[in-house]
Amino acid sequence: MVKYKLMKTIFYKFTFRMILLVGIIVGIMKGQEARQKWVSKKKMKYEARKAYQKDQKTDGSQVVLDEIEMSTYHS
């Protein structure tokens, strides 16, 4: 369990640094305003995905249904 948490931490740091690195390249090519916009968009998307995954892990009482099951259940 400790290895898994360590790997997640390392992956998060690596992903965040890659976003910033690509943001610098975008800033050079398109300007600082475009860089800030791009970095904030990617950062928010990554954090939203991370929060969703955390929410799915903590809420074990609900079963995730696919589209067919959803349509059958709500019909």
Give the domain range for residue 23: 2-73
Q: Given a cut of 70, is residue 75 above it in pLDDT?
A: no
Considering its fold, how many domains does the chain have in total? Answer: 1
| pLDDT tens-digit series, residues 42-72 | 888 888 888 877 776 665 566 666 767 667 7
* pTM (whole model) above 0.85: no
Q: List Cβ neighbours of 70 (8 Å cut-off, separation of 6 or more).
A: none
